[in-house]
Structure 1
Amino acid sequence: MTITTEHAIIHEIAQDGQGQMRCRLRPQPLLNRQAVDTMLDELHQSYSSKAGKGFGFFGTHTEDGEANEAFSQALTQYRNGDLGFVEFSSNASQLLQEELSKYDFSQGGFLLLSCYTHMASDYLFVALLSAKSSMTVLDDMELSQNNHLDLNNIQLAARIDLTEWQADKESRKYISFIRGRAGRKVADFFLDFMGCVEGINTKAQNKSLMHAVEDFVSSSELTKDERQECRNRVFDYCTERANEGTDIEVKDLADELADQGAESFYDFAANGRYELDDEFPADKASLRQLKKFSGTGGGVTLSFDGGHLGERVIYDPVSDTILIKGVPANLKDQLDRRMKGE
């Protein structure tokens, strides 16, 4: 178990007979501690490793800001001891119900709120869960249909780093959230009920880091193998941070590369050209370019390990061609059979 659960509760938001959204509030926290700890530990691990999350902070969307500050105000009261957890969660559920009532597309769901501690940081996890139907076989070999929470397909979830929120008022990334499959707008209503504003472009920061790393190794007097080793170190460090759910720290990364040339990577990256923050979340999709080259276009998809460039894979920018030495066996078999058929 990697987390310590303080409180957890589930409320239901669903349509009534007239099609209006209504809350069904639970009057006390969840009592089955073993089941709660197991579920939240699983959710924490899967959420931390999920790629493509957005990051933000409590802000306002409306001119007066009153509606959007209700969640953060209630959370402040809870953290100050002026509001109990059940009362806070009930307020949050009603805020989400009001937000959902503005839209026609939502069927509601089960709102999970949980406060827990992981590695000396306090978190609030907020997720709107859906129920999924499944079939099971009873003792008498009869079929029975059951509903269970779909924990493997969570699309509406956010996690607030309560420790960072209260310690650093200038932070713009203490709230993380899952981006919708079709982009952030799919989850706008979920962020709006919390008053969350996107505060940092994680993908842009990671791409700037990748550019800085490439420029750094290109400008240093390293061999081809040493350059790839440098990229591998960056990839391993950033991937580890992504899996842990912690930020990339440019100074720490520079220490990892301390023996890769005379110039400090931290000084190199801080020259203003890359516009890098000292700390920012990792984005796994952006990190892959340290290991692989890939692209799709015109009916052709190509991907290969970066270490093969200049050896098995020869790129000629003048003629706009790529020569591959040693065609993969399964591809070679397909090509040979096609050639024989023609």
Structure 2
Amino acid sequence: MSINIEQAIIHEISQDSQGQLSCRLRPQPLLNSNAVESMLEELHQTYTGKAGKGFGFFGTHGEDGEANPAFSNALNEYRSGELGFVEFSSAASKLLQEELAKYDFSQGGFLLMSCYTSMTSDYLFVALLNAKPSMTVLDDMELSQNNHLDLTNVQLAARIDLTEWQADKESRKYISFVRGRAGRKVADFFLDFMGCVEGVNTKAQNKTLMHAVEDFVASSELTKDERQQCRDKVFDYCSERADEGADIEVKDLADELADSGMDSFYDFACGGTYELDEEFPADKASLRTLKKFSGTGGGVTLSFDGGHLGERVIYDPISDTLLIKGVPANLKDQLDRRLKGE
């Protein structure tokens, strides 16, 4: 187990035939059985590995669109011992029910809340899970239909770093949340019920870092291979931080580069030219630009390793053309077949 579970509970928010939502509240926490431990371990690993998460904080009343402080107030009371975990989670369920009632697209779901420790941080995990039917073969070989929680397709989930929240009142990234496939607006109600305000534009920070790295190697006296080594070093460091669920620390990254003989990156990146925070979460999609060039448009999709630029792939900006030497075998086979057919 990579996590130590303190408390966990599930409440149900359901909709009746008239479209009215109601809460079915569990009166006691879940027992820390093997099933609960396995479920939360799977959710923790899945959530930590999810790319493209957003980051925010508890907004105060009147800030950024009248953020509702009810959830954070109840969480404060739980952490201070004024509320028990069951009472806190029940209050959260009712807040979510009230928020869901404002929309006509929701049918409810199962609200899972769990406090646990991972590494040196305490977390509160909050997720609205759906149930989907499945078939089971019984001992007598009869089929039985059951509902089970869909843990592989979690779209409404957030995790609060309780340690960071209480240690750094100025932090704007102690809440992480899953961005919906259709963008954040689909999940707005889930953030609103917690009073969460987006605080860090992770993609923008990562793209700014990538620009700083490219400008840094372009202004240096490094060879072509040394420049690619610098990019690889940045990619490896940032990817490792992403896998660990830890922030990119620009000073730490600069020290890594300095160990490889590439000095002064910290002064270069944080000297005022770039609007770069000292630390921010990693975004794997943005990091890929250090390794690959890719693009899609006008019915053409291209992707190639960055190390091939100037060698197997020649770019001429004046004529707006790419020359590819050594066409991939499977693509060459398709092209040859098409030419023979014509």
| TM, length-normalised to structure 1 | 0.97
Native 8 Å contact 1:60 1:196 kept in 2: no
Q: Equivalent residue of 2:28, what SS?
A: coil
Native 8 Å contact 1:222 1:261 kept in 2: no
Native 8 Å contact 2:67 2:196 kept in 1: no
Q: Equivalent residue of 2:267, what SS?
A: helix
1:17: Cα distance to partner?
3.6
Deviates more, 1:64-73 or 1:281-290: 64-73
- CA separation in 2, counterparts of 1:65 and 1:76? 22
| Residue 294 of structure 2: aligned partner | 294
**Amino acid of the residue matched to residue 266 of structure 2?**
Y
Native 8 Å contact 1:57 1:199 kept in 2: yes
1:141: Cα distance to partner?
2.1
- CA separation in 1, counterparts of 2:78 and 2:259? 48
**Amino acid of the residue matched to residue 41 of structure 1?**
E
1:228: Cα distance to partner?
0.6
Q: Equivalent residue of 2:2, what SS?
A: coil
Deviation sequence 1:136-160 (CA, Å, 0-9, x none): 2222222221110000000000000
| Residue 149 of structure 1: aligned partner | 149
| Residue 201 of structure 1: aligned partner | 201
Deviates more, 1:11-20 or 1:159-168: 11-20
**Amino acid of the residue matched to residue 153 of structure 2?**
N
| Residue 45 of structure 2: aligned partner | 45
Deviation sequence 1:183-234 (CA, Å, 0-9, x none): 1100000000000000010000000000000011111111111111110110
Deviation sequence 1:46-105 (CA, Å, 0-9, x none): 111111100000014758988710000000000001110000000000000000011100
Native 8 Å contact 2:67 2:192 kept in 1: no
Q: Equivalent residue of 1:235, what SS?
A: helix
Q: CA RMSD in A?
A: 1.5
Q: 1:63 to 1:283 in 2, by over 3 A?
A: closer
Matched residue count: 342
1:259: Cα distance to partner?
4.3
**Amino acid of the residue matched to residue 288 of structure 2?**
R
- Answering whether residue 310 of structure 2 is matched by residue 313 of structure 1, we say no
| Residue 335 of structure 1: aligned partner | 335
- 5+ residue gaps, structure 1: none
| Residue 117 of structure 2: aligned partner | 117
- Answering whether residue 339 of structure 2 is matched by residue 322 of structure 1, we say no
**Amino acid of the residue matched to residue 228 of structure 1?**
Q
* Aligned structure 1 segments of 4 or more residues deviating by more than 3 angstroms: 60-67, 259-263
Native 8 Å contact 1:135 1:143 kept in 2: yes
- Answering whether residue 245 of structure 2 is matched by residue 245 of structure 1, we say yes
Q: 1:254 to 1:142 in 2, by over 3 A?
A: same
| Residue 100 of structure 2: aligned partner | 100
> What's the % identity of the aligned pairs?
84
| Residue 285 of structure 1: aligned partner | 285
Native 8 Å contact 2:129 2:151 kept in 1: yes
**Amino acid of the residue matched to residue 337 of structure 2?**
R
| Residue 231 of structure 2: aligned partner | 231
Q: Equivalent residue of 2:69, what SS?
A: helix
- 5+ residue gaps, structure 2: none
- Answering whether residue 247 of structure 2 is matched by residue 254 of structure 1, we say no
- CA separation in 2, counterparts of 1:307 and 1:89? 52
- CA separation in 1, counterparts of 2:89 and 2:138? 36
Q: 1:241 to 1:285 in 2, by over 3 A?
A: same
| TM, length-normalised to structure 2 | 0.97
1:178: Cα distance to partner?
0.4
- Answering whether residue 177 of structure 2 is matched by residue 177 of structure 1, we say yes
Q: Equivalent residue of 1:258, what SS?
A: helix
1:170: Cα distance to partner?
0.4
